[in-house]
A and B are shown apart, each in its own frame.
Chain A
Amino acid sequence: MISFLPYAVAAWLIAIGLYGIVTSNNLVHLVVCLSVVQSATYVLLLAIGYKTGGQAPIFADIPVGTTAVDPVVQALSLVDIVVEATVTALLLALAVQAHKRFGSIDPDDLRPLAG
């Protein structure tokens, strides 16, 4: 069962994050649910790269050649976390702009931009 649990947790996080986005009534809440979906991808990537009994791929104090987990997926994840935080900030700025334009941050109250 342990061999499938991380993938199941990643799928669950995607599903629950999407549920939050679909049923949200507040633009700020929606953006944070989007970051939950993103965290599912990090869990998935790290679960793919894990090797049972492996150490972290830092060879400052362990000799080169000990079993270590995959470093490439870690490199992808760590840059992605910082960049997605910036994109979240951009989405929050758009939510503030929408509030200014339409007077509410309820996604149901937004109309197409006109003029």
Chain B
Amino acid sequence: MIVLQTAVLFAVAIGGTAVVFAREPLRQAMVVGVYGFILALLFMVFQAPDVALSEIVICTVAIPIMILLALAKIREHEEESD
């Protein structure tokens, strides 16, 4: 159990760094989805299934959709102003 927790904690730290260093918002939407999964795995290992369920549902569905919709709206404004 301790080995598992240590491994997932390191994976969370690496995942958070990856989210910050993905400068393109489009790529960042995908990385955030994966980061959400790793975070949910951490919450499961910490014996918190409710929180893991909430994290999966938000970070893999709601956040990427909102990033993509915001980007689409921004691109539409750019195309119209040209």
Contact = CB atoms under 8 A, between A and B. Distances in A.
Q: Is the interface of B mostly helix, strand, loop or mixed?
A: helix
B20 A85 contact: no
Contacts of A107: none
Q: How large is the interface on A (under 10, 10 to 19, 20 to 34, 35 or more residues)?
A: 35 or more
Interface residues of B, number: 44
Q: Is the interface of A mostly helix, strand, loop or mixed?
A: helix
Contacts of B70: 28, 92-93, 95-96
Contact of A32 (B10, B49, B58, B63): B63
Contacts of B22: 29
Interface of B: 2, 5-6, 9-10, 12-13, 16-17, 19-25, 28-29, 32, 35, 39, 42-43, 46-51, 53-55, 58, 62-63, 66-67, 69-71, 73-74, 77, 81
